[in-house]
Amino acid sequence: MPEHLQTKSPSYGHLRLLVQALAFAAVLASASHAAARTLRLVALGDSLTAGFGLAPGRAFPNRLEAALRAKGWDVKVINAGVSGDTAADGLARYDWAVPPDADALIVELGANDMLRGQKPDATKATLAAILDKARAAHLPTLLAGMRGAPNLGPEYASQFSAIYPALAKAYNVPLYPFFLDGVAGDPKLNQPDGLHPTAEGVEVIVRKILPSVEALLKQTNR
């Protein structure tokens, strides 16, 4: 066959470079897909998370998601709050409330334990069991604290309030000391029951907790 009609076969070196280039492109595509994946942040809590008495879209998880997205986070905040739940209730539904593909967790439980006068040691043990589950799943967790009401007596209030910093230290998880910081006791930011925040109160909670949540999301495998 005349030389000008012959088709030259690619050398082994050329084939190897081609394979390497394709493999590198696949890695880049995979990394790009991973980077584009929406983070899933679960808020496991009671009525303060669920949005008791608020219009649709005004609950804490909704407003937190909006605030995070405004800061550039591609995140979905899952509302795993149930009104009336104690810490034990939260633990009982943990396995189905916190999906396996969750990237981070906020634990906001204990207020109903306090309102019912449950023993602080029992609440602490239950919250510890929740943190055990999160740790076993390697799930970055933010513990949202609650303070004991003064009308329950100084001894009870002190014991209850101490639950959260003690657990945060024991489990080496970040603590947001008081979920209702800036809202509790302010009639303008609470519903008539004096316990649940208004939509304006939720905005205050979100604004104050936002830096802690952003720090939590930085711990995820983005």
Active site residue 138: no
Active site residue 113: no
DSSP 14-50: HHHHHHHHHHHHHHHHHHHHHHHSPEEEEEEESHHHH
Beta bridge partners of 81: 45
- Count the Cβ atoms, other than its own, within 10 Å of residue 214: 15
Active site residue 30: no
Catalytic residue among 85, 103, 113, 196: 196
Catalytic residue among 30, 186, 193, 212: 193
Catalytic residue among 46, 47, 103, 113: 47
Q: Which helix (H) or strand (E) holds 106?
A: strand 104-108
Phi/psi of residue 209, nearest 5 degrees: -85, -15
Q: What are the tokens at 27?
A: 């890695």
Nearest to 77 by CA among 93, 65, 86, 88: 65
Q: What are the tokens at 81?
A: 């709050």
Could you tell me if 77 and 41 are in contact, meaning their C-beta atoms sit under 8 angstroms apart? yes
Q: Report H helices in the chain.
A: 12-36, 47-50, 60-70, 87-92, 94-97, 111-115, 120-136, 154-161, 163-171, 199-217
Q: Which active-site residues does the annotation give?
A: 47, 193, 196
